[in-house]
Structure formats: structure tokens, C-alpha cells
Amino acid sequence: MEHDKGHIIPYRTLLFVVTGLIMLTLISVAVTKIHLGTLTVFTALLIAAIKSAFVLMIFMHLKFETRFFKIMVLAVIAVIGVVIFITLLDYLYR
């Protein structure tokens, strides 16, 4: 069957990505020192989302996989999102 070596990601790319991830971590810590009010949590989660996109795409090879994987990862994240949304429909309006 498929015995090919698959896509090889160069060391350089990986080092570049991890540096970026560390930078983003430091940025998200720094941002909490600034008072953004309700936006604080939002920015923290936004940065977390960007970081996880990098981990998923590069570290977890998702960028080089077939469309099925990409769609399913998005679908699973969407499912969690919708379940949280519907549950909060109860709590937000109670």
C-alpha cells in the first residue's frame, strides 16, 4: 500500500514555527498586563487559536493531509463550539 516516506518538513520550518509559538505565548502574557476589559479573555483565546492553528497545520502535518482530515478537524471544533453555544443559550437567558 502506501509506503512512501510522505512529506518531509525541514528542521528550519519547525524551528521557525516553535519560535513563533513562543513569541505568541509571551505576547499573550504581556497583553494581560494591559487593561483591555472584556477584551482580555478574547485576545487570550484569539492568540491561543492562532497558536493551535500552527500546531495543527505544521506540527501535526494537517497542511499536507487530504481534505478529509482538514474538514473533520474543523467539524469537530465546530461541534464543540455549537454544543457550548446551545448550552449557554440556557445559562445566558435563565
Partner 1 sequence: MSVTAGMTEPSYLEFKGKYKGIFSWIFSTDHKRIALLYLFSILSLFAIGATLGLLMKFELIAPGKTIMDAKAYNAFFTLHGIIMIFAVVIPGLPAVFGNFMLPILIGAKDVAFPRLNLFSWYLYVAGVLLVVIAQFTGDQAPDTGWTFYAPYSFRTAGNMLPAVFGAFVLGFSSILTGLNFLVTIHRMRAPGMTWLKMPLFPWTLYATAWIQLLATPIVGITLLMIVAERLFNIGFFDPTLGGDPVLYQHLFWTYSHPAVYIMILPAMGAISEIIPTFARKIIFGYKFMVASSLLIAFVGYFVWGHHMFTANMSGQALYVFSLLTFLVAIPSAIKVFNWISTMYKASIDLQTPFFWAMAFILVFMIGGFSGLILGSLAADVHLHDTHFVVAHFHFIVFGGTGFSFFAAMHHWYPKITGKMYDTAWANTGLTVLFIGFITLYLPMFYMGVKGMPRRYFDYDEVFHASNIISSMGSWVLYAGLLITVINLFISLKRGKQAPANPWGGSTLEWTIPSPPPVENFEETPIITKGPYSYN
Partner 2 sequence: MEEHRDDLASKTGMWLFLFTEMLLFGGLFIVYSVYRYINADAFHLAAHELSVPIGTINTIILLISSATIAMSITAIQKENKKLSLLLLTITVLLGLTFLVNKYFEWGHHIKEGIYPGSSALSLRGHGDVLFYGLYYFMTGLHALHIIIGLIFIGFIARMIIHDKITSDNHVLLENSGLYWHLVDLIWIFLFPLFYLIT
Which positions touch partner 2 (CB under 8 A)? 1-6, 8-11, 14-15, 17-18, 21-22, 25-26, 28-29, 32, 40-41, 44-45, 47-48, 51-52, 55-56, 58-61, 69, 72-73, 76-77, 79-80, 83-84, 87-88, 91-92
Distance (Å) of CA 92 to CA 3, 37, 41, 42, 88? 52, 20, 18, 18, 6
User: Do residues 54 and 20 lie in contact, with contact meaning Cβ atoms separated by under 8 Å?
Assistant: yes
C-alpha 27 chain-centroid distance: 16
Among 25, 63, 79, 81, binds partner 1 (CB under 8 A): 79
CB of 84 to partner 2, least distance (A): 5
